């Protein structure tokens, strides 16, 4: 099966074409990744087109789409989800959402209990904990690194990965691994069983973990003097 993988939940604008077969790990055919937290909207579609061209495939060849559902900042995350949803509808292909932290954990494949922490900005991190087999045991959550550090003994993790783990390595005090952003192969690996089974995808629900900054006005402003 041919799968398009996209993720915009981190500063990495990620797109890739992955071949998926039973009893085999996902095989990357082509990818485009650019680190630019302010250009998800401008770069994602060209990255998708370039990846398909390099792989020698077209949109019509795709069997499924896998998209990172976060957690991530609102502006970037919605780009990937909206693009994947639009492509899925236009091509009549299933779109499978996966947690971005799950994909990073799969890329790390440490074989030990692991913390994945990405940058949530505002001096916070998005985090999730995983057991030695890569199964998520807690999270995802958004929290101050100092508060997360107090929970580490209970989580039983001794290694960490992700951009947030790197930014706050001194606070967390864990062995740092190199998987900072999700790869196309990692994204597809998380959804592989569902994709191969042609299961009905879950709803494309973004993991924002925060309320939006913008709120509806509670009342009309007075425009004339009393």
Which residue has 């998800």 as its token pair?
A: 40
Q: How would you label 120-140 residue by residue, b for 16+ Cβ within 10 Å and e otherwise?
A: beeebbbbbbbeeebebebbb
* d(C-alpha 116, C-alpha 102), whole Å: 8
Place of tokens 């402003």: 221
pLDDT digits (tens, 9 = 90+) for 29-64: 999 999 998 999 999 999 999 999 999 999 999 999
Summarised one tens digit per residue, pLDDT across range 97-140 is: 999 999 999 999 989 999 999 999 999 999 999 999 999 999 99
Helix or strand run (H / E) with residue 62: none
The model's pTM is 0.91
Residue spans per domain, the chain: 2-100+182-197, 101-176
Q: What is the pLDDT of residues 148-161, one digit of tens each?
A: 999 999 999 999 99
Overall fold of domain 2-100+182-197: Nucleotidyltransferase; domain 5 (3.30.420)
28: tokens are: 């990357």
CATH topology of domain 101-176: Nucleotidyltransferase; domain 5 (3.30.420)
């Amino acid at each position: 099966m041919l799968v398009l993988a996209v993720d915009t939940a981190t500063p990495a604008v990620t797109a890739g074409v992955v071949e998926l077969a039973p009893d085999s790990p996902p095989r990357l055919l082509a990818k485009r990744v650019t680190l630019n937290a302010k250009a998800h909207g401008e770069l994602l579609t060209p990255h998708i087109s370039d990846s398909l061209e390099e792989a020698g495939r077209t949109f019509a060849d795709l069997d499924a789409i896998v998209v990172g559902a976060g957690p991530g900042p609102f502006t970037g995350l919605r780009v990937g989800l909206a693009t994947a949803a639009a492509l899925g509808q236009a091509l009549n292909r299933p779109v499978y959402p996966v947690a971005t932290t799950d994909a990073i954990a799969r890329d790390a494949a440490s074989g030990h209990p692991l913390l994945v922490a990405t940058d949530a900005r505002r001096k916070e991190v998005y985090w999730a904990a995983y057991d030695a087999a890569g199964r998520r045991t807690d999270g995802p959550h958004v929290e101050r690194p100092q508060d997360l550090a107090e929970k580490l003994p209970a989580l039983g993790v001794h290694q960490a990965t992700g951009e947030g783990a790197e930014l706050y390595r001194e606070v967390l005090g864990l062995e740092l691994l190199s998987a900072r952003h999700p790869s196309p192969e990692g994204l597809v690996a998380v959804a592989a069983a569902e994709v191969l089974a042609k299961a009905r995808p879950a709803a494309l629900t973004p993991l924002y973990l925060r309320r939006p900054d913008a709120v509806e006005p509670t009342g009309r402003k007075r425009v004339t003097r009393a």
